[in-house]
Amino acid sequence: MHTLRCRLILALTAAALTGALQAQTLYKSVDASGKVVYSDQPPASGAAQKTMKLEAPPISVVPGNPLPPATPGQAAAGAPTAAAQPRGEVTLYMATWCGYCKAAKAYLGGKGIAYREFDVDTPTGKAAFAQIGARGVPVLLTNGQRVNGFSAQSYDAVFAKRP
């Protein structure tokens, strides 16, 4: 059962990293050797045991108890808020274990966009993350806008307005 869960999580993560944000169809079938197979393509035999419609959430929830939002006197050093961030500056709150964060970083790198990164698993990053009151990663702040999660379409829209 544990292996089945791992395979499902792996299949869902792979589907999420493809960048598709619309409802996904996931097919569960059993191959000739008796292995359970999850795929985004219908099985060649046409006999899927189960078909699932999935909404791919573009955000990973940060585990653990979040810190309460800091009061203005307790702001994390250098932690911008969406409203206080200088125009043109880009800040990404991320975690090394987060697949969506890796996709967001790849997007920014691929477009040649310079950004400041806060890893929410470090003390400084955790304090900065609490300052913005977020619950999941990635979070992108730029030009007074905040994008929770990652999708190429939402990042394209934010950066299309960039000076």
Read off the pLDDT of residues 75-126 as tens digits, 9 standing for 90 and up. Answer: 444 555 544 455 579 999 999 999 999 999 999 999 999 999 999 999 999 9
3-state SS record for 84-126: CCCCCCEEEEECCCCHHHHHHHHHHHHCCCCCEEEECCCHHHH
CATH superfamily of 61-160: Glutaredoxin (3.40.30.10)
Q: Is the pLDDT of residue 137 over 90?
A: yes
Q: What is the pTM of this model?
A: 0.53
Cα 123 to Cα 18: distance, rounded to the nearest angstrom: 31
pLDDT digits (tens, 9 = 90+) for 40-62: 677 777 666 666 665 555 555 55
In this structure, what DSSP letter does residue 53 have?
E
CB 92 within 8 A of CB 104: yes
Query: Domain boundaries in the chain?
Result: 2-56, 61-160
Return the pLDDT at 46: 63
